[in-house]
Amino acid sequence: MKQADVLPGKPFPLGPTPGPDGVNFSVWSRDATAVELLLFDAPGSSRPSRVIQLQSRVHRTYHYWHVLVPNLGAGQRYGWRARGPFEPGAGLRFDGEKLLLDPYARAIDVPAGYDRLAAARPGDNTAVAMKSVVADLSGFDWEGDQQPRHPFSRTAIYELHVRGFTRDPSSGVAEKRRGTYAGLVEKIPHLRSLGITAIELLPVFQYDPQDAPPGLVNAWGYSPVSFFALHGGYAAAAEPLAALDEFREMVKALHRAGIEVILDVVYNHTAEADEHGPTLGFRGLDNRAYYLLDDDRSRYSNFTGCGNTLKAHHPVVRRLILDSLRYWIAEMHVDGFRFDLASVLARDEAGKPLRSPPIVWEIESDPLLCGVKLIAEAWDAAGLYQVGLWVGDSWKEWNGRFRDDVRGFVRGEPGMVGRLANRIFASPDLYAGDQLEPEQSVNFVTCHDGFTLNDLVSYDRKVNQANGEGNRDGADDNRSWNCGVEGPTDDPAVEALRARQVRNLLALTLLSSGVPMITMGDEARRTQLGNNNAWCHDGPLTWLDWELVERHADLRRFVRRLLDLRFAFDPTEASVGAPLRVFLNQAQIEWHGVRLGAPDWSQESRSLAVCFTARGRTGRVYAAYNAWWEPLEFELPSAPLGWRRLVDTALRSPEDAAGWSETAPVEGSSYRVGARSVVLLGTGGPPPGDEPGPWSEHGAATPDRSG
């Protein structure tokens, strides 16, 4: 085929678009003086079979370079080269020797000899570069797939890492399928046994596994090279296009099980890192459009801690983000997104916070995205902390204050009782001032970033030497407590205390108002041996050991019982969608201490009790929280029908949590709450149906006691 055989093509749609006449390619580059399209005949090809030089007068419309190449189709490997000035002081970093990924490619082929460093050194890197792949997604059979669309009031999230979830041989998954989308499907029965309604997947966009210290690997995936292409390393199938089908089969299977799929998305930086990093795509196409630059333009603004920051307010980047989100909804059927370091989206050209960030409103007002789950990690690595201040009407927030305050209370810090009162009722000190629902707060005490739940009660200090940074990385303020011994122990007293603290943290997370989230392995006491920043480890340290799942079957049962209690409340009986303040005002609430009507809000207090009746309910719930190191006798409110014990973390399984039919009646006018434990009592009879208990995730009114 000669140069004359190609056609001008069209600027829209961006990326590769297969059709009956061939494939139309379109890419944005404002300052390029010349653009080339390189085609590769087969997977693993080190040299292009053809180089098509685009002519500005024929193949350029505005700043879009485009060409239609006949006789091409799905599976075609290709890449771009863009030539132009290399003037770092002006923000221009063209390198005509580097093969560039297409920002809109739906698939990427990572060759066996991929070399990240070659993209940072002078010279041609074509032989060892990632290649974009043309994909045709029209033929997949969704078999009438129906998204569950659980309201946030009926949502419980399980955060997991696709590879780490089933990679360990103990998973029982066939070797080829371990650590893959297909392997995850085999563990859907486990997810259902927990009672969760959504999984939140750590990044599944194609990322650069070599973006890590020497000898280590980027395992978490917070280093994207694309916002459309699926990470092929998580697929049992080696062919990139087959991986697309494997992912969609996984989504389809999860939906059949009533489980939603939320993606952890990274629209704040890319794997190209700082000015010393590799030229993989964005930098070589239009550095000034894609990235925030410092005043001297030769350096990158680093609000992410990863070397660069996407320019989210630029129209090209805004379009890229919106098109990416639409793609994952329309073509891959996912149910929502958790935005990593979302506060980056709120920064302007100079890095200052915008009062009303355009991209945030564009996302939630987009007609295709309306109704999907949008969750913001409302902070970034440069100190912008917007928890309680995030804009938008439908966004929810990871509540970092819930994490910190619940950890602080459970380990017995002074001055935490008033803060706990706010956290267990959806943080009205943060969210009741606006028209925000109780579910504005996504409650968690652990996530991928930080100690595991087991390590939170087993280590006072992080153990990150294996990360190769002299133990300087990772958070130092973990609000953890080792229960008397640092690390693993055979001491039965210490182990019993740790088991109780784990249950306390789970009870507070799963039974507080808001949206609960737990992390992969929380239900099995997974350990990372004190490493609280294990992003660069792909091995047993970060994989889920399924022998622990069986060993701690009692804890898995405890999680399920708590979620059963949580969802026993029928939200249709209350004003679903009403603001938090309305829920608080409509509920009957009484605060207590060890004595009725006498809560102790003092700095030295370590205990609190609350009795409430949610709107539209006749049954009442009484909860007592004791972070003191000795048992306390709590006076109980009157209950004509008598109190029944639903949860007591000081008791052994199965008495620690029970369905209504299994509950034991409480005798007497008081209840002895064990040292460092949580108790939940109910009265008024079981709810409609056979659900075990009258718990309402909407909770009741709470004063601002945050201090």
d(CA 128, CA 675): 60
The stretch 151-162 carries a mean pLDDT of: 97
Give the model confidence (pLDDT) of 405-430 as tens digits.
999 999 999 999 999 999 999 999 99
Is 467 in contact with 213 (CB distance < 8 Å)? yes
In whole angstroms, give the CA distance from residue 369 to residue 360.
Answer: 12
The torsion angles phi and psi of 220, rounded to 5 degrees, stand at: -75, -30
- C-alpha pair distances (Å), 506 with each of 405, 497, 511: 14, 14, 8
Which uninterrupted H or E stretch holds 246?
helix 240-256
Summarize pLDDT for 111-128 with one digit per residue, the tens: 999 999 999 999 999 999
β-pairing verdict for 515-519 and 157-160 = parallel
C-beta separation of 212 from 218 below 8 A: yes
Taking CA 612 as the corner, what is the angle to CA 607 and CA 615, rounded to the nearest 5 degrees? Answer: 155
Q: Token digits for 59?
A: 């193949």
Taking each helix axis from N to C end, the angle separating 315-330 and 282-290, rounded to the nearest 10 degrees, works out to 120
Does the pLDDT at position 687 exceed 60?
Answer: no
Q: Average of pLDDT values for 38-51? A: 94
Cα-based distances in Å from 28 to 70, 167, 259: 21, 39, 38
Q: Could you tell me which residues come within 8 angstroms of residue 466 by beta carbon, excluding any fewer than 6 positions away?
A: 531, 537, 541
Measure Cα distances from 43 to 254, 309, 450 in Å.
31, 32, 39
Angstrom CA distances, 507 to 397, 532, 586, stand at: 20, 23, 24
Rounded Cα distance, 292 and 412, in Å: 43
The answer to whether 487 and 530 are in contact (CB under 8 A) is yes
488's tokens? 């693993």
Cβ neighbours of 120 (radius 10 Å) = 17
| Neighbour-count burial of 642, counting CB atoms closer than 10 A to its CB (0-12 exposed, 13-18 middle, 19+ buried) | exposed
Count, residues in the chain:
707
Whole-number Å distance between alpha carbons of 449 and 219: 12
With beta carbons less than 8 A apart as the criterion, state whether 419 and 625 touch. Answer: no
Round to whole Å and give the CA distance between 67 and 10. Answer: 7
Place of tokens 């004509």: 640
> How far is residue 139's CA from residue 126's CA, in Å, rounded to a whole number?
31
Burial 325-357 (b: 16+ CB within 10 A, else e): bebbbebbbbbbbbbbbbbbbbbeeebeebeeb
Res 577: pLDDT:
65
State how far the alpha carbon of 247 is from the alpha carbons of 180, 563, 681, 688, 692, in Å.
9, 28, 43, 38, 35
The pLDDT confidence band at residue 581, using thresholds 50, 70 and 90, is confident
Q: 322 pLDDT band (50/70/90 cuts)?
A: very high
Give the relative orientation of helices 400-410 and 492-510 as an angle to the nearest 10 degrees: 140
CB-based contact 375:339 (threshold 8 Å): yes
Domain ranges of the chain: 575-683
Rg (CA), the chain: 27
Reply yes or no on whether the pLDDT at 707 is more than 50. Answer: no
Token pair 């059949």: residue: 256
Question: Which of the two residues, 659 and 510, has the higher pLDDT score?
Answer: 510
Q: Tell me what pLDDT residue 661 has.
A: 79
Q: What mean pLDDT comes out for the span 187-213?
A: 98
Tens digits of residue pLDDT in 625-635: 999 999 999 99
> Residue 406: which residues within 8 A CB-CB, separation 6 or more?
420, 423, 443, 445, 505, 508, 509
d(CA 375, CA 390): 10
Q: How far apart are CA 111 and CA 530, in angstroms?
A: 35
Which SS3 state, helix, strand or coil, does residue 624 take? strand
Just list the catalytic residues. Answer: 340, 377
Return the minimum-mean-pLDDT range out of 172-186, 284-298, 559-573: 559-573
pLDDT at 299: 97
List, for residues 325-354, the tens digit of each pLDDT value. Answer: 999 999 999 999 999 999 999 999 889 999
Give the neighbor-by-neighbor strand order of the sheet with 50-54. Answer: 50-54, 34-40, 77-83, 131-133, 107-109
Do 114 and 210 form a contact (C-beta atoms < 8 A)? yes
Of 239, 256, 224, the C-alpha closest to 110 is 239
| Residue whose C-alpha is closest to residue 197's, from 264, 148, 253, 259 | 259
Q: With a cut of 70, say whether residue 705 has pLDDT above it.
A: no
pTM of the model: 0.95
Quote the mean pLDDT of the chain. Answer: 94
The 3-class secondary structure across 66-130, one letter per residue, is EEEECCCCCCCEEEEEEECCEEHHHCEECCCCCCECCCCCCEEECCCCCCCHHHCCCCCCHHHCC
Strand 77-83 and strand 131-133: the pairing is antiparallel
CB 26 within 8 A of CB 102: no
Residue with tokens 């049954």: 619
40-49 average pLDDT score: 93
Is a pLDDT exceeding 60 seen at residue 702? Answer: no
The pLDDT-based confidence of 703 (bands split at 50, 70, 90) is very low
Please, which pLDDT band fits residue 685 given cuts at 50, 70 and 90? low
Q: What's the pLDDT score for residue 259?
A: 98
Confidence of residue 586 (pLDDT cuts 50, 70, 90): confident
Q: Phi-psi bin for 699: left (phi > 0), alpha (psi -120 to 50), beta?
A: left
Band (701; pLDDT cuts 50, 70, 90): very low
Q: Specify whether the CB–CB gap between 658 and 652 falls below 8 A.
A: no
pLDDT at 616: 63
Asked if 542 and 533 touch (Cβ cutoff 8 Å), the reply is no
CB 40 within 8 A of CB 93: no
Taking Cα atoms as reference points, which of 35, 651, 608 lies closest to residue 284?
Answer: 35
Among candidate residues 292, 360, 276, the one with its CA nearest the CA of residue 321: 360
Amino acid identity, position 618: T
**Do 635 and 594 meet the contact criterion of CB atoms below 8 Å apart?**
yes
Mean pLDDT of 272-300: 97
DSSP category for residue 136: -
Residue type for 401, please?
A: R
CB 692 within 8 A of CB 658: yes
Sheet holding 607-613, edge to edge: 588-592, 607-613, 620-626, 677-683, 644-648, 664-665
Give the fold, CATH level 3, of 575-683.
Answer: Immunoglobulin-like (2.60.40)
Which residues does 208 contact at the CB level (< 8 Å), separation at least 6? Answer: 116, 218, 223, 225, 271, 280
Answer for the pair 182, 165: CB distance below 8 angstroms, yes or no.
Answer: no
